A = this chain, B = another copy of it.
Amino acid sequence: MKMNDKRRIKELIERLDRITAADEWGDDINPTQWTALSYLSRANSFSRSPSHVADFMTTTRGTVSQTLKALARKGLITEIRSEHDKRSISYSITEKGEKLFKKESTIEEAALQLGGEEVSTLLAGLEALARTALKQRGYKSFGVCDTCSYHRKEAEGGYCNLLNLPLSPPQTKQICHEHTSAK
């Protein structure tokens, strides 16, 4: 690998993120809140607590707690307290929150201009980079059930061998905090 390649990769990721972050301001929401909201819209019901969001966002529970309170204040999510563990909370996205997922980000628009080959090699590279980075830091993968080693494919949907639960077709595409990469 050329000496500066790794630095250039880091720089490009940072710059691209800042470019999209810039147009995630407005709509009464900021980039961090946007990331949390987006996570909540795609995570399954076992993965929507403040702790899970914090792990996904690589930040602390305290910080995420404030972010989620801000989103709740704006009516974009609602908190649901757990029955069997009175400490824990699960957040759910509201209709109003769902409506925000219309506009496309700069990165997404730019991706549309790339060729199919280019997109798939880029995606493969990013996946590999993320996989390695997560492993190095001991972070959880937060992949979708579909691709988990505990997942068993069924005629309709699937089955989770960890939680012993049947999964509907849409549920197999949701993010789970227990996700473990299928080898």
Q: How far is the CA of A124 from the CA of B39 in the complex (A)?
A: 28
What residues of B have a CB within 8 angstroms of the CB of A134 in the complex?
19
Q: Which of A79-87, A107-115, A159-167 contacts B (4 or more CB under 8 A)?
A: A107-115
Q: Which of A9-17, A44-52, A65-73, A150-158 contacts B (4 or more CB under 8 A)?
A: A9-17
Known A-B contacts A1-B119, A9-B119, A112-B6; the reply to A17 vs B19 at CB < 8 A is no
Chain A interfacial residues counted at CB < 8 A: 55
Task: Find the B residue at minimum CB distance from A120.
Answer: B5
User: Chain A, 94-110, contact with B by CB distance < 8 Å: what is the 0/1 string?
Assistant: 00000000000111111
Task: Find the B residue at minimum CB distance from A108.
Answer: B6
Q: How far is the CA of A108 from the CA of B2 in the complex (A)?
A: 12
What residues of B have a CB within 8 angstroms of the CB of A130 in the complex?
12, 15-16, 110
| B121–A121 CB distance below 8 A | yes
CB distance from A20 to the nearest CB of B (A): 7
| B122–A19 CB distance below 8 A | no
Q: How far is the CA of A1 from the CA of B128 in the complex (A)?
A: 19
